[in-house]
Structure 1
C-alpha cells in the first residue's frame, strides 16, 4: 500500500489521508527488520505509556501549533483557543462546541460515536473487500465471552478508525442504558490500514474495553474502544448502569490513533448504503460524531 485513500462522505470524492509518521509505519509493518522492532519494542505497553507521559508534560505544548498547521485541524470547532492548552494531551482530548457536531434527531437514527473513517460489514463476513483475503473477525478472541460471541455471531460489524488529527472523544450512538466497561489487556499495535489490512487480529491483540448499550430501538449495541500504538490510555467519563442520550460523551483516548468498534445484533438496524458500498469497494468513509450511519429496524 503506497498511501491511504478514503471516500469523503460529503462530496463522494476519493481523498488521500495525511498520515503523521507514514514512512515509519510502512517500515514497521512491511520491512523484515521493522517487524522485529515492532514485536520486540513498539507494541509493548511501556513504550506507549512512556510517550503518553511525555505528551502530558507542559513542555509538550510546543508541539501543538505545528500539529494543527500540518494536519489542517479546524480550531474554530474547539471550545478553547490554541494557546489555552497546558500540554499536548490537553489539546489532543480537546472538547468541541456542541454546534460543531449536530446529532441526527430522528428517533431511529443510529449515529457515529466518533470522528474518523468507517467500515461496515453485515453478517461479520465478507471482510475480503477491505482486508487481505481469507481473514475472519474472531468474536471469541475479540470479546473473550462465549455468550456475547453467540449473540453477535450473525450481526453487523462497524469499525471506526480515529487518526491522530481527529477529535478523540467518543460518544453514544443511540439513547439507552449503558453497562459498566469490561477491560481486556493486550498489546499496542497500530490500527492504521498499513497494519490492519494484513493483520486483522490487531483488534483482538490490542488493549480494549467494551460495554453494552441497551437501546429501545436497536437492541443491544456493543461498543468497544481499542487502544493502539502511543495511546496513553482509554478514559471512560460516563456513569455505568445509567440512562444516556444519543450524542452524549462516553469518554476519550489520550495521544495516538485509536478505534471504536460497534457490534449490532442481526436484523436490528440497516447500515446506510453509501457506507456499505464504499466498504465493498475497499474504501473507508469519513464520518463525524452525531452523523447518521444506520437506521434502527424497530
Structure 2
C-alpha cells in the first residue's frame, strides 16, 4: 500500500454519530507525536524507557494539576468545539477542567444529555423503586461518553466478529480494534468466566475531548474489585498493533445488576492518565455480606465480604489526564441494541454520550 493510500485510509470516516447518523473523522490531540512513538525505532525506545512509565505520567500530572496549565484550557475548548460555557467556570488547572463533574441524565437512545430529555425518560421507567422499560425490560445505559464497539461472545468464551463481506458468517477471532488483537483471557489475566459465555463485549474508547467520568450502567451491587498493574500505553488508533489492553494498568469490577445478573467492568489506564479514580465506599452503603467468588489455589475463598450498592447512573469514578478505555463484559441476559453491532461489523465506532440507553436486560 502506498503512502498516499495509507493517508487516505487514515482520513476516511471511521465514526458514526448515533444521534444524527452522520459519519465523522476524529482529530486526535497530539496525533503526530503518538504516531512517532509507536511507528519509529527511536520513538519506541523513548516509549519503553520513558513515556510508558508511571513516573512520566506522574510528572506530567504535576504540571497539568498546577495553575501553569490553566492557559491550555481555552485553546483546547476552541480546538474541539466544546461549549464556551466551560470557560466561564474558572477552573484553576487543566487537570481540574479535564476531570470536571457534569450532570448526567438517564435517557432514551440517541437523546441529548439534558434534564428535559433525561427526567422525562427516567420518569417513565421508574416504578416502585425499580427501573423498568418496555414490556418490563430493565434499561442498560452507556457507562461513559466516547466511541463504542460491540462484539458477541460465543459459548467457548471467544469473541465473534460478523463480517459484512462474508454475508453474515461468523469468525472466531481475538478482539480486533484498529489492528490490535486481544483475547478476553489477556484482558482479565484469567480464563473467561462461565457467566459471560454467550454474552457481549463492549469497548468504550474515550479520547481527550470526551467527558472522563463514568457511571454504573444499571442498579445493582459491586461484589469484588481487582487491580492489575502495568505500563501506560496509548489506547488511540495511532498505537495500533501494540497490546494496550492486556498490558496497561487496569481495574476490574465484578458487578451484579438487578434482574440482569453478573457483569465485569474494566477501566484501562492510558498514556498521560495518572490514575483511575473509583469512588469505592464513598458513602456507607456496604450493607450486606456476600460470598467471595475468587478462587485461591483452585479452592473457593470462604470469606464473606460486604457488597456496595449503587443506582443506575450513579457515578462510579473518573480518569485523570488523557484518553482511556472501558471494557464491559456482559452475560446473555443483557441485550445490546442491534445498531451498535451493525456499526461495529462495518468497521465503525459509534459515538454516544454517557447515560443514554444502549440495551435492555431480558424480562
Output the TM-score relative to the length of structure 2. Answer: 0.74
Q: 1:71 to 1:242 in 2, by over 3 A?
A: same
The alignment partner of 1:85 has SS state of: coil
Q: Which residue of 2 aligns with 1:285?
A: 350
| 1:229 aligns to 2:271 (yes or no) | yes
Given the superposition, is the C-alpha separation of residues 169 and 14 from structure 1 closer, same or farther in structure 2, using an over 3 Å criterion?
Answer: same
Distance 2:43 2:181 in 1: 25
CA distance in 2, matches of 1:262, 1:129: 13
Partner in structure 2 of residue 95 of structure 1: 101
Q: Give the direction of change, closer, same or farther, for the CA distance of 1:128–1:238 in structure 2 (3 Å limit).
A: closer
How far apart, CA to CA, are the structure 2 residues paired with 1:292 and 1:75? Answer: 27
1:38 aligned residue: 47
Aligned equivalents of 2:196, 2:56: Cα separation in 1: 34
Of the candidates 182, 199, 202, which is equivalent to residue 155 of structure 1? Answer: 199
State whether residues 117 and 287 of structure 1, in contact with CA within 8 Å, keep that contact through their aligned partners in structure 2: yes
Match of 2:135 in 1: none
Aligned length: 290
Instruction: Find 1:270's aligned residue among 335, 338, 361.
Output: 335
* CA shift for structure 1 position 57: 1.1
**Distance verdict in 2 for CA 1:93–1:75, change over 3 Å:** farther
Unmatched runs of 5 consecutive residues or more in structure 1: none
Distance in 2 of aligned mates of 1:151 and 1:51: 40
Structure 1 counterpart SS, 2:160: coil
The answer (yes or no) to whether the contact 2:19–2:352 under 8 Å persists in 1 is no
Change (3 A) 1:279 1:91: same
Scaled by the length of structure 1, what TM-score is found? Answer: 0.89
Distance 2:30 2:24 in 1: 18
SS class of match (2:274) = coil
* Structure 1 residues 141 and 150: alpha-carbon distance in aligned structure 2, compared to 1, 3 A threshold: farther
Contact 1:75 1:82 in 2 (8 A): yes
1:153 Cα offset (Å):
4.3
Which of 323, 326, 335 aligns to 1:257? It is: 323
Contact 1:184 1:209 survives alignment (8 Å): yes
Larger radius of gyration: 2
Q: Secondary structure at the match of 1:242?
A: strand
Structure 1 counterpart of 2:251: 209
Give, in whole Å, the separation in 2 of the partners of 1:180 and 1:75. 40
Distance 2:247 2:359 in 1: 28
2:150 is the counterpart of 1:144:
no
